[in-house]
A and B are shown apart, each in its own frame.
Chain A
Amino acid sequence: MKGPFTDSRQDGQRGGTGTARFVAVKAAEAAASIVLVIVLGFFLFRLLPGDPIAFMARDRPTDPGQIAELRDRLGLDKPILAQFGNYFLGLFQGDFGESYLERRPVLDMIGERLWPTVLLVGSATVLAVAIGLWLGIRAAWRRDSLFDRAQTGIALTLWSVPQFWLGLLLLVATGGLFPSRGMHSPDAAPGFLPQTLDVLHHLILPCLTLLAVFYAQYMLVMRSSLLGEMNADYLVTARAKGLREDLVRRRHAVPNALLPTVTLVFMQFGMVVSGAVTVEAVFSWPGLGQLTYDALHGPDLPVLQGVFVVLAGAVVLMNLLAELLYRVLDPRVRTG
């Protein structure tokens, strides 16, 4: 005998279990992806040409004894499967190996570079999301207007401009108003406030460069997403209720159009650490991008592997969060 109350309680229970299972399945998928990334990362980088020891000994007097010692110390004598086994087990103990070039733990090197990159790319992304969404909404609402065409044109142009070129252009154009390198000035006064201001001063140009390139995709996605909602019936209803155009846009159209953008934003956040290789090189910003750039020249395999695992891990994690968040934000996904 089933009553309406029983049904709803069962639905509720089923819903709860469903969410838990959904989270568990997604987390397991993410974990599997990360393991795959580790395996791929190890063997993929082994395909790169170049002998790390020859790289380390380049342009330096090195006798065969030293070279043999190095090879032994870095474990390059062992069969590749044994090397992989050591690497894989090491990862679980937080040991990402030792850099060929600097001969320091890779995890330390990544740790040092993570914060500058998160600061640079993170702040550029936050600003790019804000500005991109705002401009995208305006452009869509006034589609085919001069504003829309101009904004779309500017966004497409900036999106296709090479980042390093834009960075160099900004460096020259600002004529020394902002520092051209690094994150700290050796002349900055000690103390929290002067040091913070010094970092902000250094942050402006690289952040502006990234912002100019980043905001375009948010703007264009938001614009097209909102255009898709423009002729929906609920907007006609809202207008029929006598709401001002401004409020129709803000309270009805935008929240619905925002959903696909949320996924994009989260997926892009996963890329936060990887998106700045060239900009970091132009502005000598001491982040992960620069570390990757240097490591590629070797190739410094342990560093490349480490960065690869961290970056891919971040993307996997952010995708997982995006999927979970989407489920929370959009009831249709839950019920479907």
Chain B
Amino acid sequence: MGYVRRVCTIAAVGTLGVLPTAGIAAAQQHAQQPAPEPAQPKVLRVALTTGIDHLNPFTASLAASTQVGRFIYEFLTIPSAEKAAAAPALAESWRISPDKLTWTFKIRQGAKWSDGQPITAKDPAFTFNRMLTDETARTANGNYVANFASVTAPDDATLVIRTKTVQATMDLLDVPIVPEHIWAPIKDLTAPETDTVPVVGVDDGPYRLTEYKQNEYLKFAANKGYWRGAPKVDELQLLVFKDVESAVNALKQGEVDVLNRLTPTQFDALKDRPDIATNQAPGRRYNEITLNFGVQNAQNQPIGNGNPVLKDIRLRQAIAQTIDPKTVVDKVMGGYGQLGGGVIPPIYQAYHWDPPPDQARGFDLAKANAALDAAGYRKGGDGLRTEPGGARLELRLTGHANRGFDQRVAQYVSGWLHDIGISVKQELVSDEELNDRTNAGNYDLAISGYATNPDPDYALSLHTCAARPNAQGKGGTTDTFFCDPQYDQLYAQQLAETDPAARAGYVKRAQARLSSQAVNVVLDYDNALEAYRSDRFSSFGKQPQPDGPILEQTGYWGVYGAVPAVARSGDSAANTGLWIVLGVVAAVALFGSGYTLGRRRAIPMDDRE
């Protein structure tokens, strides 16, 4: 009955058998890595730290998936590299009818899909019409066509879109254009084949999809016939990392060339490495504290359990004056952020609003204290104030329990509010719980934030009356529950204004109106923190230029503009390590088998069964 020993021996030998094969695989991989010779293909490896839901551009919603769409499909127009403003892409030019309802796009001629078929105006017409007629096709970008009356292609070079009402977002429709001859025969857009290379691989962007291993990686080949000119790297790889720390380690070890979404700590740790360059760029996300001013649902019925005292705008303004965005940027963000103003971050310069000096509240505890004294909030002996009704002035502050930013902001805000006589009860909860509380209006102060787009419409729409949820707590995506006729009018005016300068004016006035009501305090705009292998790549395309992000952008400029470095260091060090490992494995294998054989021989014959 030596089966235990036999099992153990087989397992041990099996393990030892596996290790050398892995070593061979390691050797193979190292052998396959591009050597300095110019004949080797230049590969750009990007760490992808967020998930991919679909490749199908009609249904792909997650940020990384839409980015894939940008790499492989041309759009009618795209946000330019310089300023993230509308620039020609598939459409060479466009004009608007005098009534601002008809948009005529002139489609670039001579370009081809990757299967050789010509690209014509019929392709964008098909794409938009499919979205108008097929509910599934509206999954990802339906909001862009909701206002379309008709889309036609009178000839191969002309696309005509008529809208029901004036739509300012028409020059930046964030919709990938697909080839009609591939997608028209596909009746069910939820079919798994729409996520495969034979379908999605027929494309026309700067890169062409060549391989997709779900949840693992995507491979792209440079489109040599791309109308802007072929990218300078031959192959693009997006490698899925579930853990940013592992991705940082992979960057250090040269497994990936570029990654983003670093924490300030990780970013600082990478700064001093000679082979790695870092990029700190203005981001497109705002962080804020929202104040429950007595929120209502879409039917104007009060909801939630917010402290009614916050209905007093004098109190809200005093609170806003007590919060110091500079401390948040310096102490909480470690300097990696920009001071807060309106809800459109400064990366979108044309629409960003900062309060003019005469309207800026400034961080001023004395003024806030005086304002509260004047408003009748009396201070007791313990330094805390009471509401006019006699109750102690106490507010709840909710935020994400698992987010360092929220934890530290909560500490600072509690301290500041205490200084003006307001007691704060911190309630940091799970993401889901926070979502539930803020959707239902069950908060006094909440730490929140949103990512914005180059077009200001989305960020502004989050504060319109229409964005509020219905009586069941559903139906809208509001940020602040703000509902103000003056704001809504400015929102409608910017949406209907096609003159960029005039539109920017409305956008800024809308932000000023929102700010004046003190329903939220924009704390800061996060920086995009990125790093890349400077020994392999000398530069990347930034958007906007010159200081924008590489990966966190709304375009393909980052990877399209990647320039490989002239020389690359060899892999000799890694290979030395590999040989050491192989040597150790071989020694262990020899020792192990020798030991096992020796033991068997040592058992006398008459003891064997």
Residues of chain A whose beta carbon lies under 8 Å from any beta carbon of chain B: 48-51, 53-69, 71, 101-104, 108, 112-113, 126-127, 129-131, 133-134, 137, 164, 168, 171-172, 175-189, 194, 197-198, 200-201, 203-204, 243-244, 246-247, 250-251, 254-255, 258, 280-284, 286, 290, 293-294, 297, 299
Q: How far is the CB of A111 from chain B (nearest CB, A)?
A: 12
Q: Which residue of A lies closest to B468 (CB)?
A: A64
Point out the residue from A50, A69, A258 that lies within 8 Å of B431, measured CB to CB. Answer: A50
In the assembled complex, the Cα of A196 lies from the Cα of B316 at a distance in Å of 63
In the assembled complex, the Cα of A50 lies from the Cα of B477 at a distance in Å of 14
| Contact status B435-A51, CB under 8 Å | yes
| Contact status A69-B135, CB under 8 Å | yes
In the assembled complex, the Cα of A307 lies from the Cα of B7 at a distance in Å of 32
Other than the given A64-B466, A67-B477, 9 more pairs (CB < 8 A) read: A58-B477, A63-B142, A69-B135, A130-B8, A171-B246, A181-B255, A182-B217, A247-B603, A290-B242
Q: How far is the CB of B201 from chain A (nearest CB, A)?
A: 15
8 smallest A-B Cβ distances: which pairs? A50-B432, A130-B11, A176-B253, A201-B25, A197-B25, A286-B215, A49-B432, A134-B8
Q: How far is the CB of A170 from chain B (nearest CB, A)?
A: 10
Q: Which residue of A lies closest to B54 (CB)?
A: A102
B190 at the interface (CB under 8 A from A): yes
Question: Which among B214, B255, B432, B433 has the highest number of chain A CB atoms within 10 Å?
Answer: B432
B211 at the interface (CB under 8 A from A): yes
In the assembled complex, the Cα of A201 lies from the Cα of B25 at a distance in Å of 6
In the assembled complex, the Cα of A284 lies from the Cα of B476 at a distance in Å of 35
Known interface pairs A188-B29, A201-B29, A281-B242. Does A50 touch B435 (Cβ–Cβ under 8 Å)?
Answer: yes
A-B pairs with beta carbons under 8 A, tally: 216
B577 at the interface (CB under 8 A from A): yes
| Contact status B436-A51, CB under 8 Å | yes
B474 at the interface (CB under 8 A from A): yes
B5 at the interface (CB under 8 A from A): yes
Taking CB atoms, residues of chain B closer than 8 Å to A54 are: 435, 439, 477
| Contact status B4-A134, CB under 8 Å | yes
Taking CB atoms, residues of chain B closer than 8 Å to A108 are: 192
Known interface pairs A112-B214, A177-B581, A181-B246. Does A62 touch B28 (Cβ–Cβ under 8 Å)?
Answer: no
B32 at the interface (CB under 8 A from A): yes
B18 at the interface (CB under 8 A from A): yes
Question: Which among A104, A108, A180 has the highest number of chain B CB atoms within 10 Å?
Answer: A180
| Contact status A61-B457, CB under 8 Å | yes
Interface size on B, residues (CB 8 A): 85
| Contact status B577-A177, CB under 8 Å | yes
| Contact status A104-B192, CB under 8 Å | yes
List CB contacts (< 8 Å) of B307-331 with chain A.
Answer: none
B15 at the interface (CB under 8 A from A): yes
B254 at the interface (CB under 8 A from A): yes
| Contact status A179-B59, CB under 8 Å | no
List CB contacts (< 8 Å) of B558-609 with chain A.
Answer: 574, 577-578, 581, 603-604, 607, 609
B451 at the interface (CB under 8 A from A): yes
In the assembled complex, the Cα of A271 lies from the Cα of B240 at a distance in Å of 26
Point out the residue from B250, B436, B473 that lies within 8 Å of A181, measured CB to CB. Answer: B250
B430 at the interface (CB under 8 A from A): yes
| Contact status B146-A65, CB under 8 Å | yes
Known interface pairs A64-B466, A186-B219, A286-B216. Does A204 touch B51 (Cβ–Cβ under 8 Å)?
Answer: no
Taking CB atoms, residues of chain B closer than 8 Å to A284 are: 216, 240-243, 246
In the assembled complex, the Cα of A244 lies from the Cα of B51 at a distance in Å of 60
Cβ proximity bits B48-82 to A, threshold 8 Å, 1 near / 0 not? 00010110000101100000000000000000000
| Contact status A258-B4, CB under 8 Å | yes
Point out the residue from B4, B216, B242, B461 that lies within 8 Å of A254, measured CB to CB. Answer: B4
Q: Which residue of A lies closest to B450 (CB)?
A: A59
Q: Which residue of A lies closest to B51 (CB)?
A: A294
B165 at the interface (CB under 8 A from A): no
| Contact status A186-B237, CB under 8 Å | yes
Q: How far is the CB of B356 from chain A (nearest CB, A)?
A: 29
Taking CB atoms, residues of chain B closer than 8 Å to A60 are: 61, 477
Q: How far is the CB of A151 from chain B (nearest CB, A)?
A: 15
B1 at the interface (CB under 8 A from A): yes
Query: Can you offer 18 A-B residue contacts whose CB atoms are under 8 A?
Result: A50-B433, A51-B435, A55-B435, A64-B470, A131-B12, A164-B243, A180-B249, A180-B253, A181-B247, A181-B250, A182-B240, A187-B33, A189-B32, A197-B28, A198-B25, A255-B4, A282-B246, A286-B214
In the assembled complex, the Cα of A283 lies from the Cα of B241 at a distance in Å of 8
| Contact status B436-A103, CB under 8 Å | no
